[in-house]
């Protein structure tokens, strides 16, 4: 399916716009070798009038043919450009921002381009059982690299201290890899998948 970019986005979302839509596909846990488990996943990136993408991912353990066996995980969050806070921005809570977007034109967004050529982004992702990840990273065309700045865990959550995520658009498919430091271990392969855009 060709990538179609929405025409009604706030300019701030244009660098992230190729993510918008529903993606589905299959992946493997760990290094994806030998007996590593299979899973299927559905990921949605949506937008409203705010300068953030809403993100939701649902995953199910599966057999090698992609038949769902049982629910595996869900996560949801927000993706956006990492930029200085302006007086016109809303929050915290329900404090309203200006009705006109902070970044109004393509030139406003272009002024945020990093020397390496892409844009700095911030992503926060929440999981059930009291775990939240705050990532900083970059998006450079069809490539995204993220690393946690902080992982917040509830008192009854499993140990989880750091993570990195990589995403890339290759021949119309969204490939991703997630490395995690958990249970007292260093960063190691946690999961990877290849997703195809459905809508």
Binding site as annotated, residues for heme b:
158, 190
129, 156 contact by CB (below 8 A): yes
Residues 6+ apart with CB under 8 A from 157: 129, 130, 131
Residues 6+ apart with CB under 8 A from 171: none
Residues 6+ apart with CB under 8 A from 172: 1, 2, 3, 196, 197
Question: Which residues line the annotated binding site?
Answer: 158, 190
């Amino acid at each position: 399916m060709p990538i179609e970019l929405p025409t009604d986005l706030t300019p701030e979302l244009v660098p992230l716009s190729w993510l918008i839509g529903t993606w589905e596909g299959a992946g493997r846990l760990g290094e994806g070798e030998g007996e590593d488990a299979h899973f299927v996943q559905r990921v949605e990136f949506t937008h409203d009038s705010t300068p953030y993408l809403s993100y939701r991912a649902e995953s199910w353990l599966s057999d090698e043919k992609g038949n769902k066996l049982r629910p595996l995980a869900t996560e949801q969050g927000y993706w956006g450009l990492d930029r200085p806070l302006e007086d016109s921005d809303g929050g915290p809570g329900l404090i309203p921002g200006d009705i006109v977007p902070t970044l109004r034109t393509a030139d406003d967004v272009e002024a945020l381009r990093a020397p390496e050529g892409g844009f700095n982004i911030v992503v926060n992702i929440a999981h059930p059982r009291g775990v939240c990840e705050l990532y900083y990273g970059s998006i450079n065309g069809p490539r995204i690299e993220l690393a946690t700045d902080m992982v917040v865990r509830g008192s009854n959550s499993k140990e989880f201290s750091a993570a990195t995520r990589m995403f890339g658009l290759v021949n119309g498919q969204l490939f991703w890899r997630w490395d995690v430091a958990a249970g007292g271990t260093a960063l190691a392969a946690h999961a990877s998948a290849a997703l195809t855009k459905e809508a």
